[in-house]
Chain A
Amino acid sequence: MTTYNRNWISVTLALMALFNTPPARPEGQQELLFFLSAGPTYHEVAPDEGPEDYEFVLDADVLYSYLNGRFRLLGEYILSTEEIELERFKLGWQAGEETIGWIGRFHSPSRYWNAIYHHGQFLQTSISRPFLEQFEDDGGVLPTHSTGLMFETAHKLDHTADFRLAFSFGAAPVIDRTELKPFDLLDPGSSNRAVADLRLAYLPDQLEENQLGLALSWSDLEVDGSHTAQQQGLRRVEQVSIGAYLDWRWQEWRFLSSLAPVINQMKRQAGNQTDSFLTGYFQAEYELKHDWTVFGRLEQTNNTSSSDYLDLFPHSVTDRQMLGLRFELAMQHALSFEVSRAETPADGDFEQYLLQWSTVFP
């Protein structure tokens, strides 16, 4: 049934793409966008883990938006060599000039990187994402998807500055065999518990994108199939993260950074235990002339060897030193290259090389 649903959506999207026309009616506007990316990844895992690992990744992110008066609809569906998933599907109602309520499946507002890039790879300068912002099915250990209600509002401080608040409450992911598994609208499970997210941002100029803010997340994660968790006698994890982030542009520079302590209450059959780690990243980007951008990122996570929670995700990249180069051509195409020294709790450190072409159309 689930495969049938996914195929049905794929066919519908293909038909919509064929008959996509520019919005013209004043009573309703719609738009269909395609973010495409493709490229090879090469990483040499620690020598005792065996041969080099090579893969070719192709992603198509289909985004549909519809606006009619105060009503909004947003759907995002991803088809790739690694997954097929309805990423976001939400209905919104604009209650005031600066206030909107949403219902559906969305990206958790406490993860700033995801809130600005989602799956729009062309808009993202780097190819890889930081550990803190990684999606669940790519080794993320914090919930990045939620299904429920979301509320966004803004409060003007003076003529230019404003505070923005995003709050959500919904169904949390479960701890699956090897990863967190978020609530799937097309295949709803019954063991999902609750997650709440909040992001508070200060923007010195409401029309620009420079901002700094606080991000809070609370989630109750049920164990549902993880063999390692069962060996630990783990039933569920209550997780809290309280972080700060910064996104700042200054002349040709852009700085993106976030830092978050993560506290896990490990609910075991034999009793409870508290487990914590601190993770953060700092990314700098510099726009050279002629559409070239050079960028780099430092990521670090402490307590990786002593955290029982991180033991559940032994192949997640927790530390990274990365350098990259991006070239933009013909306005809507980009070619990026990244080289990293990455580290996972199970594999130790290794080098990783990524090459990617990304685009958006129309």
Chain B
Amino acid sequence: MSPSRALLICCMGIMLCTQAVVAERQVVLVASATSPLHDLDSLELRKIYLGFPVRHEGHTVSGLRNTGDEDLNRIFLQSVVAMSEKSYLRRLLSLPLRKGIPRPSEYARPRRLLDALLSNPYSVTYMWKDTAALSPDVKTLRVLWQEN
């Protein structure tokens, strides 16, 4: 086999592997492994992140924002709240101003996000599926987004 042909096969192999990895990219909704939450539909999830009260077993479900990853934030804005970043920022600012409700907490560092999630069984957040799979303390409630 000529060196150029071997190089070509190698490149194709790398491209195929990359595509396979990319095809599995998913964003999932998670809660702590001990959480009594099982599933939240799209409407409930949108309400949580827009500051409307959603209650489960008498407890208010809170949404934690995962802001450490730009791609993840973009997917959240498109798939969960269906708003531009500017519109969502304005909606969030109106929560304390109009209703006296603090905005959903934001976490840029994964460790802090995980700590906050584990400290409240009635809280949810979103992350890449691969990240969720690495943490035994969280459970996946549903898939929010999948790359085609």
Chain A interface (Cβ within 8 Å of chain B)? 22-26, 29-31, 33, 63, 65-67, 69, 72-74, 90, 92, 94, 97-98, 115-118, 120, 122-123, 206-207, 291, 328, 331-332, 360
Contact = CB atoms under 8 A, between A and B. Distances in A.
Given A26-B62, A94-B53, A63 B97 contact: yes
A97 B120 CA distance: 20
B115 to A, nearest CB: 8
Contacts, number: 75
Interface residues of B, number: 30
B102 A30 contact: yes
Contacts of B98: 115-116, 118
**6 tightest CB-CB pairs across the interface, nearest first?**
A26-B120, A74-B100, A31-B102, A65-B96, A29-B102, A72-B100
Interface stretch (B3-11, B83-91, B132-140): B83-91
Interface stretch (B22-30, B44-52, B69-77): B44-52
B53 A97 contact: yes
Contacts of A74: 96, 100
Contacts of B62: 26, 29
A94 B60 CA distance: 11
Contact of B101 (A24, A72, A206): A72
A122 B99 CA distance: 17
11 contacts: A24-B105, A26-B123, A65-B96, A66-B100, A67-B101, A72-B99, A90-B100, A97-B55, A123-B94, A328-B86, A331-B89
Contacts of A30: 102
B97 A123 contact: yes
Nearest to B82: A207
Given A30-B102, A33-B93, 6 more contacts: A24-B116, A26-B62, A26-B119, A65-B101, A98-B53, A207-B50
Nearest to A118: B97
A94 B55 CA distance: 12
Given A123-B97, A207-B46, A65 B102 contact: yes
